[in-house]
Amino acid sequence: MQQELIDKYGRKLDYLRLSVTDRCNFRCYYCMPEEGMNFVQREDLLTYEELDYITKIFVNLGVKKIRITGGEPFVRKGIVEFLELLSNNKGLKEITLTSNGSISKEQIGQLAILGIRKVNISLDSLDPQRFHEITRRDKFDEVMSCIDELLAQDFNVKLNCVIDGRKNIDDIVPFIKLTEKNPLSVRFLEEMPFNGTDNFEIPEWNYKALYSHIENHFPEIQKLVDESNSTSINYQVPGYLGSFGIIPAFSRTFCGTCNRIRLSATGELRTCLYGPPVCNLRDILRSGAGEEGLKSAILSAVAGKAKDGFEAENLIADGSKNSMSFLGG
């Protein structure tokens, strides 16, 4: 009988979020400081061969879905070749990606060939000037071209928009209007305390405030049936091709159905985004441990998974939080 990753609360963890790099070509204010980021050295990253070996163990433990994250995954050389390696694992049902839109037309075509059809794009404004202020980069046209190409090639596209009451409230309505003619989903996220600094204010624009604002502009919105383990509460304006959702990322109302486990590019294993690393699979692997040693470490980590993100946050001894680019989003 196959072992599965089931925690003490009965949650089956069959979804691995796999970061392949902490580096990014953007500098979004809520993710990292503009300057002074101490990116890890190449030798400290898990190699693609190590990542493939470890993911095979996760799949043998019942993981069915892997989401590739960063940093920005497409700044790491050889990423498409790694995705091809990953796609050869027959026990894996789905591979998805999160990107900032730095995917070339050629790479999009390669993803299609591999059968990777679900891509999340982090995009916090449809206004070029606000986009520049948020990302600290002048890449708006490049990102929009990427989204257009993904839609043209019939990808399932979701746009992730982090809402800040001081920066991009004026983008909420345009984002929803974007779903009128485009078969995509926009998800609005509460800001989270992972900007690489010690400065964070509890967001006033929580999921309730977001819903109220949207309902004032679109009183006819309809609730959709959410997928199991969904982190977003999903809606649609009647007659629109696409949909939108609200993710209580800071409020953490979805912890009870969490099915995720996270592996950083340096091997840190986390059972919760808000919690500390439980162990380092890179170090265990490089110390000479085989499959059984890694499997034991993973099972032990899952056994100790916190009830929710608040409990997990309290496990961080000094209260410090990494940059989101290091944590894998």
pLDDT digits (tens, 9 = 90+) for 316-328: 866 555 655 555 5
Contact between 67 and 17 under an 8 Å Cβ cutoff? The reply is yes
Tell me the pLDDT band of 192, cut-offs 50, 70 and 90: confident
Q: How far apart, in whole angstroms, are the C-alpha atoms of residue 27 and residue 31?
A: 7
pLDDT tens for residues 267-285?
999 999 999 999 999 999 9
Q: Which residue has the higher pLDDT, 54 or 165?
A: 54
Work out whether the CA dihedral 302, 308, 313, 315 comes out positive or negative: negative
Is pLDDT of 206 > 70? Answer: yes
Span 159-179, average pLDDT = 94
Residue type (1 letter), 24:
C
Average per-residue pLDDT in the chain? 91
Span 289-310, average pLDDT = 95
DSSP label of 73: G
pLDDT of 318 reads 62
Q: Kindly state the percentage of the chain with pLDDT values over 70.
A: 93
* Whole-prediction pTM: 0.91
Is pLDDT of 119 > 90? Answer: yes
pLDDT of 27 reads 86
Span 223-241, average pLDDT = 95
pLDDT of 25 reads 83
Binning the chain into helix, strand and coil, the percentages to the nearest 5 are 35, 20, 45
pLDDT of 252 reads 84
Contact between 185 and 179 under an 8 Å Cβ cutoff? The reply is yes
pLDDT tens for residues 100-114?
999 999 999 999 999
Span 212-216, average pLDDT = 96
Burial label for 272, CB within 10 Å (0-12, 13-18, 19+), is: buried
pLDDT of 188 reads 95
How many other C-beta atoms lie within 10 A of the C-beta of residue 120? 19
Q: Which residue has the higher pLDDT, 199 or 151?
A: 151
Tell me the pLDDT band of 40, cut-offs 50, 70 and 90: confident
What's the length of the chain? 329
Is pLDDT of 225 > 90? Answer: yes
pLDDT of 249 reads 84
pLDDT of 246 reads 95
DSSP label of 227: P
Q: Which residue has the higher pLDDT, 232 or 201?
A: 232
- Considering only the C-alpha atoms of the chain, give the largest distance between any 2 of them, rounded to a whole number of Å: 60
pLDDT of 109 reads 97
Span 294-300, average pLDDT = 97
Q: Kindly state the percentage of the chain with pLDDT values over 90.
A: 76
Tell me the pLDDT band of 158, cut-offs 50, 70 and 90: very high
Span 148-173, average pLDDT = 94
pLDDT of 212 reads 95
Question: Which of 84-88, 150-154, 206-210 bottoms out in mean pLDDT, i.e. has the lowest?
Answer: 206-210
Contact between 15 and 259 under an 8 Å Cβ cutoff? The reply is yes
Return the axis-axis angle of helices 140-152 and 128-135, rounded to nearest 10°.
Answer: 110
